[in-house]
Structure formats: structure tokens, C-alpha cells
Amino acid sequence: MKRIGTIVLTLILAAAFAGCGNAPAGTATEEKKTVVVGASPILKDILTVAKEEFDKDGYSMDLKIFDDLVTPNIALQEGSIDVNFFQHEPYLLQFNQNKGTTLVKYHEGIVKYYMGLFSKKFKNLNDLPEGASVSIPNDPSNRTRALKVLQTHGLIKLKEGVALPTKLDIVENNKKLNIIETDVMKLVSSLDDVDLSAINSFVAVQGNLDPKAALAAEDKSESDKFALIIAIKKDQNNEKYAARLEKALKSERVKQFLETKYKGAVLPLF
């Protein structure tokens, strides 16, 4: 009987430990302490500073930098990263529509930048010759911003009522501008090859281009729509990681870094 009692006790203890090992995800025993954050190269410096605030209380930010603007969202959808920080809401919504992803923004924008028109060949938009070459971003949301800046400053006119216009929606182009779509990350490096380029201030300063040298820029009301946001996958229960990242990004350390490094090209919204 003593032997049988020992066997039963052993089985009970084994079952109890097995139950602990199979605790539901999200319990204290399985809480993640290393949070994988995806971003594009231009945000690496900001997130590196934010990491100093994030890495407390046993937490650690594992920063993954992606060389394009598509993979960070694919990785978030597939679960290889927990949150990302590189995009604005219009881009996120368009991405969901095009790719069938289920990504959502967490709270409101953290920082913003503005779209400007730059040239190394001309000092005034009125000096642009007929047939001048103009490079703009090739993704839908940034392309829209670029085309609207060109319209605001009288270079083209767009068809009314189009949410995400393309070159095909240009109804007036009196100077017969040759509009060339380019990857947003290549606009600065290819500026020598065109007469004018629509480049956002964040990309400009990363490429050692003075944002204040823009010949023209978009209105503040327009730039407000394109604040950079934290994104998570819907129903993935990663809000606590997004909250921790938001707190780190809104720290005084990050604010001072933005003011010192970007000198007005990247504006904190906190």
C-alpha cells in the first residue's frame, strides 16, 4: 500500500507541474520581457535613444531594422515582431486594404514631418523650365502628399475627389513636367539627376539635406494627417508592449534628441 501511495503521489505532482508548464499565454509565468520592435532605417537613431528608456524593469527592446516599407508590416502580421514604428495612418490603412492585413494604430501620432520641394539646380519654382523632371515617392500615401504639394504651389492640377491620386489624375500640367516615381529612400541620392524632387523633411535630413532649403512645403494642416504611429496586429494582445514603447518614445530624453539632431525637421507631438 505504501508503494501504491508513493506512485499516486508522484503522478499527482507530475500532473501539477505539467499544468504549470502549459499555462495560458499572457500569464505572469510566460510574460515576454524581450519585445521585438520593427522600424525603417531612418527611425533607427530615435528608437536607439528610446531603447534607453524602454530597457528597464527587466524589459529589453530587440530592434529590427528593415530596408523597405513593406516588410515591417508583413513581419508584424506574421508575428515575427511585436510592434512597429515607421509609418503614418494613411499608409497603414492603404496597406491593410492592399495586402489584407489586420494591423491597427496604437493611440495617436508620436512625431510628424513635412513634405517639401527641393532642387539643386533652381532657387525658385518659377524658374522651372518646360519639361522639367520632378521625382516623387512611389508609395500611395507619400505620392499623394507630393502631388498635393505640387498642386498647392501651382505646378499641376489634380482631378477633384480622388483620395489617392496618381499621375493619371493630373488634369493640368502647363509646364509639361516629367514626373518620375522613385522609392522614398532614394529621393535624396537621385536629386542630382532631376530638376525638382518632393522629399519629406525626415528623409531629407537623414540624407544630409537641409530641410529649411526646401523651395516650398505642404501646409501644417496637411502634415498633421501624417504623424508617425505605433502599429500592432489586431487581437494579438500586444497593447502592453505598444504602451511601453509609446512611453519610451515620449520621454524627455527622446524629445531633447529630436530638437538637437533634427532641428525642426521632425516635430514631437507630445
Q: Which residues contact 170 (CB under 8 A, 6 or more apart)?
A: 147, 156, 157, 158, 159, 179
Strands of 150-246, DSSP E: 157-158, 170-172, 178-182, 196-200, 216-217, 228-233
What the chain holds in terms of domains, given with CATH numbers, is 34-112+226-268 (3.40.190.10), 115-217 (3.40.190.10)
Question: Tens digit of pLDDT per residue, the chain (270 long)?
Answer: 444 444 434 433 344 434 444 443 333 446 789 999 999 998 999 999 999 999 999 999 999 999 999 999 999 999 999 999 999 999 999 999 999 999 999 999 999 999 999 999 999 999 999 999 999 999 888 899 999 999 999 999 999 999 889 999 999 999 999 999 999 989 999 999 999 999 999 999 989 999 989 999 998 888 998 999 999 999 999 999 999 999 999 999 999 999 999 988 999 999
Tell me the pTM: 0.75
Angstrom distance (rounded) from CA 151 to CA 178: 15
Sign of CA dihedral 107, 221, 182, 65: negative
